[in-house]
């Protein structure tokens, strides 16, 4: 299909390869290279379209944003142009980050303004939640581990996004990484000196953001960096509950959103969310780094740093890398650059380690929920507590291998974070470890037969040849996990996230994979039989 971009066209859909619109006569090949296929979305100030770049081999896909001023007044055209150029500069400045769409082109044509961006193939978080249901605390922490370093980078470039929400965050099919979209020029304010009040209102009505996700100061057209923190907090509530802000109650005295009764999270995480959602800016977290430190996201940051070591793209105008389906390899940026996303993440992880070491050397240790123990009169008692939680008592503290009793004792005391622990070979059959965090943990040959591992986080964990027969892995996070040779017969993997997991030789006979996130290629590497419930809900061999 060739789609006409004339806003006044009565019938914009045309047959493929038609040069002019059959309804209005407009030229269909934009700038003699971009053929629009369909509309993706439309707002009061602009529209977004999927297009193909016919000037490049393979006709790669791209996204075209067309800015359409609400008024056709001649005095509004310069302001619209300013907004358009501001978004182009923003995307040009931050588009070297692998979690931000690249700016490929921008131009003006017949008093219409166009931005051409990289097409990101994938599902938005809004679509994922509607399809698969809410996430666990571990899943939301994974979300924060990916979005907060990105937010830190964006803010370091003096950019406030102003419209962070689940519909503007896409999980890219290519690598499963989250990508933040819609850095709309309409989110920028217009200087009121340059226009009258009615014109100002016409333009800034679209600069406020999305009601419910935007904090009070942003609704008052005074956004700050912490405004994005608030929006991320509301997004977390949506991911935990599946409820939009408009579906939640508000405190009539303070105007704050009432969310606590809808979520089941640890007390520590609830406090972090509460501070992200403070209506008062001064009481809210001021930067993404503060949240990452509060949550001690170091285990995730290390893997994230490795994941960011990819070249995002070629510069605009290059013939390479314009197809969003291709994989970009190589160094991300100059590692000596202070603005390098991977460098910034590495430094944050190092800072967390240093802070942890200082705490431990002063007498504290790691216990359940990332809380520290207090040094007491009995050094021996502290040593036993530290050892039971998986750390030696020397300085600095070094993780040791937990036995089955130590793991279960720590879990019963409220600890959920066992990231990077060596738990290989343990007998944990029929135990309840639901919601546990085993990110990058060593779990080879571990016996989880009949265990409740629902909502658990096994991202990048080593589970090769583990016994997961009849285990409950519903809604578990298994992205990049190594499940080679694992016994998953009869396991419940409904709604599990298995993207990029290694399933070579894994036994999925009789397993329930309904609504699981898994590719055809992964399933062909595993063993299935007539009793296997496929992601579609149907039974049978793959």
- Measure the CA–CA gap between 455 and 473, rounded to whole angstroms: 7
Contact 4, 24 (CB under 8 A): yes
DSSP characters over 320-353:
SS-STTS---S-SS-TT-TT-HHHHHHHHHHHHH
DSSP summary character for residue 204: H
Phi and psi at 51, nearest 5°, equal -140, 170
Active-site residue among 53, 163, 389, 487?
A: 163
Quick check: is 492 catalytic? Answer: no
Quick check: helix, strand or coil at residue 238? Answer: helix
Within 10 angstroms of residue 320's Cβ, the number of other Cβ atoms is 11
Within 10 angstroms of residue 405's Cβ, the number of other Cβ atoms is 10
Tokens of 442: 């060593």
Residue whose structure tokens are 């993780």 = 399
Q: For residue 153, which of 205, 73, 93, 101 has the smallest C-alpha distance?
A: 93
- Measure the CA–CA gap between 79 and 90, rounded to whole angstroms: 17
- Measure the CA–CA gap between 294 and 259, rounded to whole angstroms: 20
> Cα–Cα distances in Å, from 48 out to 1, 114, 129, 314, 500?
16, 10, 23, 23, 30
Q: For residue 265, which of 257, 273, 256 has the smallest C-alpha distance?
A: 273
Extract the annotated binding site for ATP. Answer: 65
Residue whose structure tokens are 């609704």 = 219
- Measure the CA–CA gap between 330 and 313, rounded to whole angstroms: 10
How many angstroms from the chain centroid is the CA of residue 181? 11
Contact 318, 56 (CB under 8 A): no
Extract the annotated binding site. Answer: 65
- 527-533-538 Cα angle (round to 5): 120
* Alpha-carbon dihedral 486, 488, 494, 496, rounded to 10 degrees: -10
Tokens of 420: 């990077």
Quick check: helix, strand or coil at residue 172? Answer: strand
Question: Which residues are tagged catalytic?
Answer: 163
């Amino acid at each position: 299909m060739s789609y006409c971009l004339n806003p006044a066209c009565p019938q914009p859909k045309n047959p493929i390869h038609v040069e002019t619109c059959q309804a209005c006569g407009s030229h269909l090949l934009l700038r003699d290279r971009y053929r629009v296929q369909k509309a993706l979305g439309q707002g009061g100030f602009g529209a977004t379209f999927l297009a193909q770049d016919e000037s490049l081999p393979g006709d790669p896909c791209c996204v075209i944003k067309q800015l359409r001023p609400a008024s056709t007044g001649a005095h509004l055209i310069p302001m619209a142009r300013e907004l358009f150029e501001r978004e182009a500069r923003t995307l040009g400045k931050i588009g070297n980050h692998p979690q931000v769409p690249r700016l490929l082109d921008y131009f003006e044509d017949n008093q219409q303004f166009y931005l051409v961006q990289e097409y990101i193939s994938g599902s938005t978080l809004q679509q994922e939640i509607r399809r698969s249901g809410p996430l666990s605390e571990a899943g939301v922490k994974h979300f924060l581990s990916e979005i907060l370093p990105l937010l830190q980078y964006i803010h370091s470039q003096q950019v406030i996004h102003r419209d962070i929400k689940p519909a503007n965050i896409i999980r890219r099919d290519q690598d499963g990484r989250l990508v933040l979209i819609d850095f709309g020029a309409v989110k920028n304010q217009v200087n009121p000196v340059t226009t009258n009040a009615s014109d100002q209102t016409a333009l800034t009505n679209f600069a406020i953001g999305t009601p419910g996700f935007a904090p009070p100061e942003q609704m008052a057209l005074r956004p700050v960096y912490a405004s994005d923190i608030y929006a991320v907090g509301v997004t977390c509530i949506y991911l935990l509950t599946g409820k939009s802000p408009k579906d939640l109650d508000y405190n009539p005295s303070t105007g704050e959103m009432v969310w606590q009764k809808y979520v089941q999270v640890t007390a520590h995480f609830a406090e972090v969310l509460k501070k992200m959602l403070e209506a008062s800016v001064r009481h809210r977290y001021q930067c993404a780094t503060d949240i990452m430190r509060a949550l001690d996201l170091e285990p995730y940051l290390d893997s994230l740093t490795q994941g960011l070591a990819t070249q995002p793209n070629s510069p605009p105008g290059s013939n390479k890398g314009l197809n969003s389906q291709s994989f970009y390899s190589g160094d991300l940026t100059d590692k000596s650059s202070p603005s390098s996303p991977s460098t910034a993440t590495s430094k944050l992880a190092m800072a967390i380690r240093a802070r942890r070491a200082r705490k431990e050397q002063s007498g504290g240790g790691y216990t359940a929920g990332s809380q520290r123990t207090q040094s007491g009169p009995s050094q021996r008692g502290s040593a036993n507590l530290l050892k039971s939680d998986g750390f030696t008592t020397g300085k600095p503290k070094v993780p040791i291998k937990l036995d089955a009793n130590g793991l279960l004792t720590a879990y019963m005391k409220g600890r959920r974070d066992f990231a990077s622990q060596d738990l290989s070979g343990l007998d944990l059959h029929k135990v309840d470890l639901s919601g546990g965090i085993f990110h990058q943990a060593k779990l080879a040959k571990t016996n989880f037969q009949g265990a409740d591992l629902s909502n658990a986080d096994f991202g990048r964990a080593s589970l090769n040849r583990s016994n997961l027969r009849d285990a409950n892995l519903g809604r578990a996070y298994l992205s990049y996990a190594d499940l080679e040779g694992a016994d998953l017969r009869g396991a419940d993997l409904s709604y599990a996230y298995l993207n990029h997991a290694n399933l070579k030789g894994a036994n999925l006979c009789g397993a329930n994979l309904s609504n699981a996130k898994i590719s055809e290629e992964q399933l062909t590497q595993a063993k299935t039989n007539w009793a296997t419930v496929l992601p579609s809900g149907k039974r049978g061999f793959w």
